């Protein structure tokens, strides 16, 4: 219930947004998505290389979206969003990292992986 801020378009974070930025963010992520889809459906790369390339596409898309769509930067009004993102990072690391660890251990115990030495009976 803040008085005096009745027009939400006057907020600095709204003032910062431009249609050029939104369009650019949308275009970059769409192009990257199309590239990834094309690479996957055309089977034109070996699996590991494919994984690396689409991961890189995803990373660039995330950065583009964070910058152009969410306007997260270190300017005075938006530093809060950047801080929130940084505080959220450990959760990404924990969930993705521990998932990766537990599943790699699981596969070690349950799957016959290509290139794995034959199981000792």
Q: Segment contacting another protein (CB under 8 A): 11-19, 35-43, 54-62, 105-113?
A: 105-113
- Is the CB of 7 or the CB of 76 nearer to another protein? 7
Query: What are the helix and strand counts (H, E) for the chain?
Result: 4, 0
Which contiguous run of DSSP H or E holds residue 119? none
118 binds another protein (CB under 8 A): no
109 binds another protein (CB under 8 A): yes
| Minimum distance of another protein from residue 106's CB (angstroms) | 5
Q: How close are the terminal C-alpha atoms of the chain, in Å?
A: 71
Q: Please name the residue that has the structure tokens 């270190």.
A: 74
Q: Segment contacting another protein (CB under 8 A): 31-39, 53-61, 67-75, 99-107?
A: 99-107
The whole-angstrom separation of Cα 18 and Cα 121 is 65
């Amino acid at each position: 219930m803040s008085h005096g801020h009745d027009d939400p378009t006057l907020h600095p974070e709204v003032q910062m947004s431009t249609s050029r930025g939104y369009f650019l963010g949308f275009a970059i992520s769409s192009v990257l998505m199309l590239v990834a889809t094309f690479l996957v459906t055309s089977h034109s790369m070996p699996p590991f290389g494919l994984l690396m390339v689409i991961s890189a596409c995803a990373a660039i898309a995330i950065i583009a979206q964070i910058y152009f769509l969410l306007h997260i930067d270190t300017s005075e009004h938006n530093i809060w969003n950047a801080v929130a993102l940084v505080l959220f990072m450990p959760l990404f690391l924990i969930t993705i990292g521990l998932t990766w660890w537990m599943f790699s251990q699981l596969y070690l115990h349950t799957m016959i992986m290509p290139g794995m030495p034959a199981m000792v009976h």
